[in-house]
């Protein structure tokens, strides 16, 4: 069968148009992109009436982004004064990793995938946890995670211009807040808030920022999961392994988990 040049031209043009549509969808579909290596968004989502209590009802009870490497879902929003992040983790091994080493929320105000001001949470007090989980404690919880929640005492911060690196109280004067809960589905839910002024940015800025969300920790080659990598310990000096007796020997050169990056300017009205 003979095919005319005009027919070939029309088919070629149609294929090119289809390719452009597919590429446009891949770039503008943040949910698909965020499941893997991150995404560039037009802007963050606008926050409305968020209360930092570890309960995610004010997030619509659905976190729209997924970081499959660490089995977590998350969302980042802002209002005129604050930056908010919410994380939900269903996997219990990953939950224990959070209790051991914390979630890390990092912001690079230059829009680079590099280190910047970082909030780590939760920080549990080991002595308090030991007391809570003691066999002599009549109120000892059966679930170790519930004991760990009761032992949370602080937030850890790094690389802020006007806050010294180290632990800060849950009730601090910097406006940095964080809370964690276990919800009715047995998922661990964490919320954090960081004032924009702590980051040296304002709602009027149009520059793109870079955000990194991850469960803090390192990966053991061949282990298949970082849930067994806790020998390095807390970034804030809590020693070795899970503070509750979990973990395996770490190799001499462990690799930190990279987290998921989001690049976007702040949302405005």
Domain assignments of the chain as residue spans, ordered by start: 1-34, 40-264
Class of the CATH-defined domain 40-264 = mainly beta
Distance, in Å, from the CA atom of 235 to the CA atom of 216, rounded to the nearest integer, reads 8
Q: Which residue has the higher pLDDT, 257 or 103?
A: 103
CA dihedral (227, 183, 122, 213) positive or negative: positive
Number of Cβ atoms within 10 Å of the Cβ of 142 = 6
Among the ranges given (125-129, 178-182, 191-195, 213-217), the one the predictor scored with the smallest mean pLDDT:
125-129
- The whole-number average pLDDT for the span 85-105 is 94
pTM of the shown model: 0.74
- The whole-number average pLDDT for the span 233-248 is 35
- The whole-number average pLDDT for the span 137-147 is 83
Q: How far is CA 254 from the centre of its chain?
A: 21
Supply the pLDDT for residue 131.
82
Supply the pLDDT for residue 238.
37
């Amino acid at each position: 069968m003979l095919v005319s040049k005009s027919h070939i031209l029309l088919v070629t043009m149609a294929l090119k148009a289809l390719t452009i549509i597919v590429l446009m969808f891949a770039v503008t579909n943040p949910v698909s992109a965020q499941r893997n290596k991150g995404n560039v968004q037009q802007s963050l989502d606008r926050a409305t009436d968020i209360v930092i209590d570890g309960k995610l009802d004010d997030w619509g009870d659905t976190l729209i982004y997924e970081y499959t490497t660490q089995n977590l879902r998350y969302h980042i929003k802002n209002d005129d004064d604050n930056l908010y992040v919410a994380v939900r983790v269903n996997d219990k091994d990953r939950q224990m990793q959070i209790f051991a080493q914390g979630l890390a929320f990092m912001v690079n105000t230059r829009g680079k995938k590099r280190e910047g001001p970082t909030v780590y949470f939760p920080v549990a007090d080991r002595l308090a946890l030991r007391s809570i989980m003691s066999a002599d404690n009549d109120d000892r919880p059966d679930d170790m995670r519930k004991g760990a929640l009761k032992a949370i005492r602080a937030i850890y911060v790094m690389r802020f211009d006007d806050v010294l690196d180290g632990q800060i109280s849950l009730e601090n004067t910097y406006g940095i807040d964080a809370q964690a809960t276990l919800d009715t589905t047995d998922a661990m839910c964490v919320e954090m808030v960081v004032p924009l002024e702590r980051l040296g940015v304002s709602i009027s800025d149009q520059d793109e920022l870079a955000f990194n969300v991850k469960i803090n920790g390192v990966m053991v080659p061949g282990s298949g999961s970082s849930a067994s990598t806790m020998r390095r310990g807390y970034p804030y000096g809590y020693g070795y392994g899970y503070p509750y007796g979990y973990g395996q020997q770490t190799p001499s050169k462990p690799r930190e988990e990279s987290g998921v990056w989001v690049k976007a300017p702040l949302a405005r009205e």
